[in-house]
Structure 1
Amino acid sequence: MKALAALALALLAGACAAPGAVAPAVTSRPVVPYTSAGLERVIGQDEAGLVTLFGKPDADIREGAARKLQFAGPICVLDAYLYPKGSEAPRVTYLDAREPDGSTIDRASCVAALVRRDGGK
């Protein structure tokens, strides 16, 4: 009898849930569109142009002929990848940006923030 009462109680409690209830969707950060808009003053620059724009790089990493200059500020971190073309000096062909915690940030917004950091012109 006790087992029957426990089963009836469990069925009644289960009936209290809203029919068709769906667990809330897990939200994630919005996807940042990957465009080159706003990057015109950085893409194609050489090292001297980047230093003029942002100041001294926080990191300078070389791998073969390729080079990565990293500029960090309180808002974001920008990685500028420079590659040579023929006998010309290496120039920025690709940029990556992130917030200091690793979250995604728009590259053009990061460029704008770093131009305004101390040391940038």
Structure 2
Amino acid sequence: MRKLALFLLPLLGACAAVPSPSGPAPSRPSAAPPPQQVRPAPTTQAFRAPRIMNMPGLESVIGRNETALANLFGAPRLNVKEGDARKLQFVGEACVLDIYLYPLEPRGEPSATYVDARRASDGVDVDRAACVRALRR
């Protein structure tokens, strides 16, 4: 019987009521952050003029629009538009030429501002001006 009483003792303890604290609960200062002003998102971004590459041998490319570049190199293999910018890619046996066009003024026509060139066979960077010469019609 004693063993049974010892066995039931923990079960009885679990059923016991826990006394509630007397009196009001201690007050805690509010930890809520002060309200912040919410600024509405701008509807249009301010125009930021692009940097224009200035390298010898690229004078026939920098500043030209898409039509002028197509007249110089033929139809581009890629013509990617992203927002108001463009990327034209021209390919030949010697190299791959990527030309990036951005508007020079708000709502202006995109013009070539940056040129990148690499070998067609393995993608290693090559002289940009030499690639322009190799791909000209």
TM over 0.5: yes
* Residue aligning to 1:97: 117
Q: List alignment gaps of at least 5 residues for structure 1.
A: 1-33
Q: Which runs of 4+ in 1 moved over 4 A?
A: none
Q: How does 1:42-81 map to 2 (within 5 A)?
A: 42-81=61-100
TM-score (norm 2): 0.58
Q: Does residue 129 of structure 2 align to residue 108 of structure 1?
A: yes
* Structure exhibiting the larger radius of gyration computed from Cα positions: 2
Letter in 2 for 1:56: A
CA distance in 2, matches of 1:96, 1:112: 14
SS at match of 2:107: coil
Letter in 2 for 1:57: P
TM-score (norm 1): 0.65
CA distance in 1, matches of 2:94, 2:84: 30
CA distance in 2, matches of 1:95, 1:42: 8
Cα deviation digits, residues 79-99 of structure 1 (max 9, x gap): 000001223210000000000
CA distance in 2, matches of 1:80, 1:98: 12
Letter in 2 for 1:36: M
SS at match of 1:92: strand
CA distance in 2, matches of 1:35, 1:90: 17
Q: Which moved more, 1:106-115 or 1:61-70?
A: 61-70
Give the fraction of aligned pairs with identical amino acids, expressed as a percent: 53
SS at match of 1:113: helix
Relative contact order, higher structure (CA 8 A, sep 6+): 1
